[in-house]
Amino acid sequence: MRIVITGAAGFIGSHLSETLLDRGHAVVGIDNLLTGDLGNIAHLRDRDFQFIRHDVTRHIDVDGAVDFVLHWASPASPIDYLELPIQTMKVGSLGTHNALGLAKAKKAGFMIASTSEIYGDPLEHPQKESYWGNVNPIGPRGVYDEAKRFSEALTLAYHRYHGVNTKIVRIFNTYGPRMRLRDGRAVPAFMSQALRNEDVTVFGDGTQTRSFCYVTDLVDGILRLMLSDTNEPVNIGNPHEVTIEQIARTIIKLVGSSSRIVYRPLPVDDPKQRRPDITRARTMLGWEPKVGLEEGLLKTVDYFKAKVAAAT
């Protein structure tokens, strides 16, 4: 197949591009590099990979046949969407509209990268796809939450009205190589601090929970969903739930760091718990994660060691 990936120079987009190439497909990567990094895809240039630097909030034009459009373009960490609120809303609305328009014009399939953030600070635990969420639409995180909720609605509108073969993947916390040092999310923040023997900053009292999925497991789930018959949203994430303090202490131990944990006030609307119900992924896709937390963290530490060394 020939597959277009928006946000191809980002963390997950670059891993998707690489895996699709490994499976024999051609990839057209689109990114405006607002939060993406050409270094993530530099090793793909000699393969069947075409890169287009473009802002997907403007009309998307790709020459030739396209079999699938994977819409991954968006700021995706709290630091990014708090600094780039309008761009986040635009890529979730205008960008999704343009990516869907490309899929419709090319008679291609389409997948939107949605997120566990559409559940907000959930009152249901674990979170099933049938849960509508508990979201503050006007809070500081609302720009990301509502952009993704809108993009899901628009995606299904194109499916129902235009007959586009659409997929919705709701991604839970994911980690692995190619995350940025100053990403703002827990794993890269804790690793970069621990590797420098700095204080490791935990927001709140550390009892809030997350479920961390290694990136190769996520990509496997995404590609299974792409090839499936379902048009319903599907959670892809690791149901193994840990507290933020536990993940911080695990990383400090793995790194062999002398860092100590310091506590800071919890950000507004920060979810207190997060764990996917992956029954739908198991039954419809035959998918479940395979990489254990410590195994994945060890692979990620090696990458961050090199990044920290390069930055010093």
Helix or strand (DSSP H, E) at 212? none
Residue 231, classed as helix, strand or coil, is coil
Helix 215-226 to helix 11-22 angle, to the nearest 10 degrees? Answer: 60
Chain centre distance of CA 191: 19
Determine contact, residues 6/32, Cβ cutoff 8 Å: no
Contacts of 236 (CB under 8 A, 6+ apart): 169, 170, 171, 172, 213, 218, 221, 222, 225, 276, 278, 281, 287
- By CB atoms closer than 10 A (0-12, 13-18, 19+), residue 196 is middle
119 included as an active-site residue: no
Q: Which of 81, 144, 158, 175 is catalytic?
A: 144
Q: How far is CA 71 from CA 76, 196, 234, 285, in A?
A: 13, 35, 16, 20
Q: Which parts of 3-94 fold into alpha helices (H)?
A: 11-22, 78-83, 85-90
- By CB atoms closer than 10 A (0-12, 13-18, 19+), residue 281 is buried
**Integer Cα distance of 226 and 273 in angstroms:** 28
Catalytic residues: 144
